[in-house]
Chain A
Amino acid sequence: MTLPLLSVTGLSVAYGSTEVLRDISFDLMPGQALGILGLSGCGKTTLLRALLGMLPPSAKVRGQMRTGSGAIALSNRAALRARLGREIGFVAQNPFDACAPLRTVRAHVEEAWRAHGLRPDAARIAALCAQLGLDPAMLDHYPHEWSGGMLQRANIAAAVALAPPVVLADEPTSAVDADTAAAVMDCLRAGAPGTVIVSHDLPLVARYADQVLLIEEGRITARAPRTAFAAGRLPAPLQDFRESGTLPPARPSGTDVVLQATDLVLVRGGRQLAPPLSFSLRAGEIFGVAGRSGLGKSTLLAVLAGHLPAARGTVLRDGVARAPRNGEVLTLFQDALSSMNPRWPLSRIVAEPVTTGPLRVPPVSQTAAACMALAEFGLSHIRPDARPGTLSTGQGQRVTLARASLAAPRLVLADEPTSALDPQQKARALAGLSHLARKGAAIVFVSHDTTLLDAVCNRVMQMQPLGCGRSKQERGLIA
């Protein structure tokens, strides 16, 4: 009988009297990948940090873990940390956030040795580069000079440098685009004998994990082998999890042309990014923009917002070439929380457009207007005097949607607004976005995820690099 590489029994974590994880047990067999699925806030991250011995001292941890060197109590953080690197590797979610910006990527990889006071093994690094498809010359460059996908591979190289039998990965592909996600997952599987992948991305986990655990409210509510996905024999909680992410269908758009772009040429750093673009945006429609990073999606948004002039071509707003009016264009960001003043109460954040924009509301009714907008986006249970710090990422995105709905913009520019959200939160945010469209805004939805765009957009424009023949294709036109 083969022994599991990692065996966790009875893991519970509590902060005071609040239990955030209860009785988690699982085994990881050699050569296998275990997927741990769950919505944000279900305790996935706590589980991972408990295994790394990196929970704050205020967390009460119970349970046992067994690795190659024997069993250990999970409350013994010091002993757990002694096993890090050698027995347990870790791959963080965002590679740019994981690497120190002042140090070269080589230093980042060598940390695996230096953390234990060892000399870095140049031969091992070279071998890892060959195995994971990294360019050894790039190692002496700094993280900001790397692409996200490649940097995540370097992260994996650092995680597996001391050949730990188990690698724990926290949403390893959520910060890289869809094309490179597959390569990153292959590297991860190739790097270590056993992998634990924590994610909210069910299709990804279903593709790469041999076993899937679903965690809901701190408990394991379902386990399934990979074969169950193909056969469609999923336990009920996993089935519900899959369906909770069902997206609202696109709605027919209006006829008003809000913006007409003709032969738009985007330039960054003196270099043309993509062939000329022509498109029109109508009131009430969701217009998808897809394409890999570096094709000028953000530059396009800046031009549409009026922050940047187009290098060539025209942008007509309501049929006239003019700058956008105050309050006409509104941008939604990927990281919604960073677009809020952390010291303001939500009512003030949401009501801000009606204090500065063309539509004004007298101060006495501003809070009421904010509460109505919050309720419109399913946030009526949140106190209007709460601060943004208390929100989850998904709630934060819906607060910005509520703010946008009060502003009543003609044009909404959404830059990857859902990529940080779990399926349920994503579905809610998308419902909010189509609610905005229904109220008459034209919405430009930029994303890597073409499947998502096809599902929710009236039309999708695929951005192509220069020299790839046609400049764009439009699909799925719903008039």
Chain B
Amino acid sequence: MARALGLRLIQGVLAAFGASLLVWLMLPLAPGDPAEMILQARRVEEPTAAQIAELRERFGLDQPYWQRYLLWLAGVLQGDFGLSWRTGEPVWDGLMRRLPATLYLVGLSFVISVAWSLALALVAARWVGRWPDRLVLAYTRVLAALPSFVLALLLLQFVVVGLGVGLVLSGGAGATLVFAAAVLGIDRAAGWTQLLRAGLIEHLARGPADVARARGARPRRVLTVYALPAAMLPWLTALGISLGGLIGGAPILETIFTWPGIGAHVLTALSVRDVPVIQAFVLIAALAYVGASLLVDALALLMDPRMRAGAVR
């Protein structure tokens, strides 16, 4: 068990290094001279040779690539992502000011969607083929087909503007947080609900559930004790994959809700090609992904004794 976890951890660290290399390569592989790009990011249209030379010196752009990567990596490991090309302030400070608001939104919406999909799938599987199941299925089909920003825009239009509930321009806390989180969460829950419902129905028809019924177990017990743990493994994997993608997907949704998170910051950085900020954001998103996969693997190891045995062999 400990060995299996250790193995996953090493894999995770390797994946993180790979991600850091790819992220860093964005800079040298991007077309154009970085020094000119920096000046463009600062709206200097026709830089002089002196300005460019000074920047090269300051950002260490005249060193060989591998040295620059190692320097950058060493900085990243200490929380130093370099200076923003646009503002000249440290990238880390700019991100950290805005990251908490994003984490609130993303975290709360994740919790809402996990709970919502769990509840819906259990209801659907408990009454398969009857009206609660059909209702859940219809709901998930519509929402799974609907891009989340469409739902967000529709809700903004009809609920916030139409009914006057909540605020269009959100301040980053309170009721607007819950509203935005719920919209994101409910939307994302659709696919997970379908996955979990299918798993529950499959495991309800399997031998262990059948035998439990033959012992006299009631439907609710068969569902929660026998079908749920078995059906949860693939569902957890899907959750982990989405959890990793949440931070990466935050900018678009934050823009819709005018959420004062990391989103607007990153979009600005993208539009002026402020590479260090983009690098830092992509790396944070990649690390979130690696961390989430690790978490899911650890949970699966905890739940499934066969995987523990398999990993030790």
A positions within 8 Å CB-CB of B: 52, 54, 81-86, 90, 92, 94, 97-103, 111-112, 114-116, 142, 144-145, 155, 158-159, 269
Q: Does B313 contact A (CB under 8 A)?
A: yes
Q: Is B215 part of the contact surface with A, judged by Cβ < 8 Å? A: yes
Asked if A100 and B213 make an inter-chain contact with CB atoms under 8 angstroms apart, the answer reads no
Q: Is B134 an interface residue (CB 8 A)?
A: no
Once the chains bind, are B306 and A90 in contact (CB under 8 Å)? no
A-chain residues with CB within 8 Å of residue B119 when the two chains form the complex: none
**A92 and B207 contact, Cβ closer than 8 Å, known pairs A100-B230, A102-B229, A144-B306:** yes
What separation, in Å, do the CA atoms of A82 and B218 have in the docked complex?
Answer: 9
Q: Are A92 and B304 in contact (CB under 8 A)?
A: no
Known A144-B305, A145-B309, A269-B313; contact A98-B207, beta-carbon cutoff 8 A: yes
Known A101-B304, A102-B304, A145-B309; contact A94-B207, beta-carbon cutoff 8 A: yes
Contact with A along B261-304 (1 / 0, CB 8 A): 00000000000000000000000000000000000000000011
Question: Which of B217, B230, B313 gathers most chain A CB within 10 Å?
Answer: B217
Closest chain B residue, CB of each to CB of A98: B211
In the bound complex, CA of A155 to CA of B304 (Å): 21
Among B216-243, those with CB < 8 Å from A are 216-218, 221, 226, 229-230
> B212 at the A/B interface (Cβ < 8 Å)?
yes
B233: nearest residue on chain A (CB-CB)?
Answer: A102
Partner of B214, one of A54, A142, A269: A54
Enumerate chain B residues within 8 angstroms of A155, measured Cβ to Cβ: 211
Contacts of B230 in A (CB 8 A): 100-102
Give the residue among A82, A92, A102, A155 with the most B Cβ atoms within 10 A: A102
Q: Contact at B216–A85, with CB atoms within 8 Å? A: yes
| A85 neighbours in B (Cβ, 8 Å) | 214-216
If A94-B207, A115-B215 are given as contacts, then 9 extra A-B residue pairs at C-beta distance below 8 Å, sorted by A number, are A52-B213, A92-B210, A99-B211, A111-B215, A111-B217, A112-B215, A114-B221, A144-B305, A159-B215
* Residues in A whose Cβ lies below 8 Å from that of B221: 114-115
- Distance in angstroms from A406 CB to nearest chain B CB is 33
A101 touches B215 (CB 8 A): no
Q: Can you name 29 A-B pairs with beta carbons within 8 Å? A: A52-B213, A54-B214, A83-B216, A84-B213, A84-B215, A85-B214, A85-B215, A90-B211, A90-B214, A92-B211, A98-B211, A99-B211, A100-B208, A100-B229, A100-B230, A101-B230, A101-B306, A102-B230, A103-B229, A111-B211, A115-B212, A115-B215, A115-B217, A115-B218, A116-B216, A142-B306, A144-B309, A145-B309, A158-B211
The answer to whether B207 and A90 touch across the interface, beta carbons within 8 angstroms, is no
User: Is the CB–CB distance between B229 and A158 below 8 Å?
Assistant: no
CB-based contact A142/B217 at 8 Å = no
- Which residue on chain A has the smallest CB distance to residue B213? A54
Of all chain B residues, which has the CB nearest A85?
B216
Query: Using a Cβ–Cβ cut-off of 8 Å, how many residues does chain B contribute to the interface with A?
Result: 22
Interface residues of B (CB under 8 A from A): 206-208, 210-218, 221, 226, 229-230, 303-306, 309, 313
4 nearest A-B pairs in the assembled complex, by CB-CB distance: A97-B207, A90-B214, A115-B217, A85-B216
CA distance A101 to B310 in the complex (A): 14
A-B contacts, CB under 8 A, total: 76
Contact among B206, B216, B304, B305 for A115, CB-based, below 8 A: B216
* Residues of chain B lying within 8 A (CB to CB) of residue A92: 207, 210-211, 214
Contacts of B216 in A (CB 8 A): 81-86, 115-116
Shortest beta-carbon distance from A206 to chain B in Å: 26
Shortest distance between the CB of A469 and any CB in chain B (Å): 31
In the complex the two chains form, what is the Cα distance from A343 to B216 in whole Å? 36
- Most chain A CB within 10 A, of B211, B218, B230, is at B211
Using A97-B206, A100-B226, A100-B230 as known contacts, say yes or no to A111 and B212 having CB atoms under 8 A apart.
Answer: yes
Q: How many Å from the CB of A4 to the closest CB on chain B?
A: 21
Nearest Cβ in chain B — how far from A118, in angstroms?
10
CB-CB under 8 A from A82, the residues of chain B are 216
A contact residues around B212 at 8 Å (CB)? 100, 111, 115
Residue from A97, A102, A111 within 8 A of B305 (CB atoms): A102
- Complex contact B214–A84 (CB within 8 A): yes
User: Closest A-chain residue to B211, C-beta based?
Assistant: A98
Question: Given the complex of chains A and B, what is the CA–CA distance between A155 and B210 in angstroms?
Answer: 13
Q: Which residues of A contact B229 (CB under 8 A)?
A: 100, 102-103
Most chain B beta-carbon neighbours within 10 Å: one of A115, A142, A145? A115
Complex: chain A residue closest to B206, CB-CB:
A97
Contacts of A116 in B (CB 8 A): 216
Tell me whether A99 and B208 are in contact (CB under 8 A).
Answer: yes
A121 to B313, CA, bound (A): 35
Q: Which residues of A contact B210 (CB under 8 A)?
A: 54, 92, 98
**A98-B215 in contact given A144-B309, A269-B313 (Cβ < 8 Å):** no
Chain B nearest CB from A56 CB (Å) reads 11
- The docked-state distance in angstroms from the alpha carbon of A81 to that of B221 is 14
